[in-house]
Structure 1
Amino acid sequence: MIKRMPTHCGDETCSSCVVAGDFIYLAHHAGGFDKQEIAHQMRAAFESIKRTLASVGGTLDDMIQINLYLKNKEDFGGAREVFCEYFNKEYPARMTIITEFLDERCLCQIDGVAYKSHNGSMEALEERISCLEKKLNTIAFGENKEISFNDCRIENMEAGPSCSITCNSTPIGDIGLGNDCTLNFDKCTIGAVLDSDLEDAEERLDDLECRLDDLNSQMDDIDNRKK
């Protein structure tokens, strides 16, 4: 599957990058034209590439090849030093070219290729989804709240002593629950469960459910790319 990202330079005929399978092909990136200084413009170019990679789930660590274009041969040393700021001893392959640019203010440009394994992404997403699902099963309630459950399962429920719980209209009585308790409820009502505020808990659940939906969407997108 091929995915073309929107332009980053105001030219609709130039995608910022193209994702083809596990490979990310990056267009030219430049910037920092406010200063005629090679280190400044190199940093601007790298920051631009970082944003493009992030838009498709990649980072500079995924770069396997970089083409460095310089206007002046004398700037190579200064440009090379900036690589040390963005890579930690593991550098991509590089080719350096001396050339002219359409914008006379431009001292350098960068393009290249990155590799991002979808299998690794899938495993990471599955791990994050599993973590979120576990959090969704951890629910906290405030004092003197009455909550009804219908065919719900609550794991790792934390509550203080003297909790009044009624299931199927049958009072269980005053009980104390610690950590790592597993309870099953079928059309049950729980009253006066002690923990954090109910509204905060509901907001946390809504947020986790939204994040879970986003991750599932990313997994669907990865599956589509692999087809």
Structure 2
Amino acid sequence: MAKSIIQTDKAPQAIGTYSQAVKAGTTVYLSGQIPLNPETMEMVSDDFAEQAKQVFENVKAVCEAAGGTMNDLVKVNIFLPDLSNFATVNEIMAQYFNKPYPARAAIGVRALPKDSQIEIDGVMELPE
């Protein structure tokens, strides 16, 4: 099965040896997104809610570049250095998804790139 590299200027460019997403068949594997402003490649804010919104916007941009929407995500992983922010994540996530929601894991981590307070990756299944 051939794979396609997904790339968009509407999400931060990769800051390492990875692609924003890779499509294999109808499945798209999204790399982790942190709250970088895609135009400046700087952190959007120190405020957690603003960081979370930017991450969801970045994920949304990659989903759209792959030909899908946020509602095509079947699995989402959310990485948080501070799990006390989980309620805020739920509130913001509800603004980006319709029911039925994707499967999800919230993972407490020690640190994230660029001292981000949140990172999200996921797997998307495109309609055939």
CA distance in 2, matches of 1:57, 1:6: 11
Structure 2 counterpart of 1:21, from 15, 19, 25:
25
Q: Report 1 or 2 for greater relative contact order, CA contacts < 8 Å, sequence distance ≥ 6.
A: 2
Could you tell me the percent identity over the aligned residues? 29
The reply to whether residue 61 of structure 1 matches residue 71 of structure 2 is yes
Deviation readout 1:168-198 (Å, 9 max, x if unpaired): xxxxxxxxxxxxxxxxxxxxxxxxxxxxxxx
Contact (CA 8 Å) 2:72, 2:124: kept in 1 or not?
yes
1:72 equivalent in structure 2: 82
What displacement does 1:34 show?
Answer: 3.5
CA distance in 2, matches of 1:29, 1:46: 8
What displacement does 1:61 show?
Answer: 1.1
- In structure 2, the residue corresponding to 1:9 is in which secondary structure? coil
What displacement does 1:39 show?
Answer: 1.7
2:15 equivalent in structure 1: 11
Compared CA separation, residues 12 and 107, structure 1 to 2 (3 A): closer
- In structure 1, the residue corresponding to 2:58 is in which secondary structure? helix
2:40 equivalent in structure 1: none
Structure 2 counterpart of 1:43, from 41, 49, 53:
53
Letter aligned with residue 90 of structure 1:
P
Contact (CA 8 Å) 1:6, 1:12: kept in 2 or not?
no
* Structure-2-length-normalised TM-score: 0.83
Structure 1 counterpart of 2:113, from 92, 102, 122:
102
- Which runs of no fewer than 5 residues in structure 2 stay unpaired? 37-42
Larger-Rg structure: 1
1:83 equivalent in structure 2: 93
* Structure-1-length-normalised TM-score: 0.48
**Structure richer in helix, relative to its length:** 1
Contact (CA 8 Å) 1:38, 1:79: kept in 2 or not?
no
CA distance in 2, matches of 1:87, 1:22: 20
Size of the alignment, in residue pairs?
117
CA distance in 2, matches of 1:74, 1:21: 37
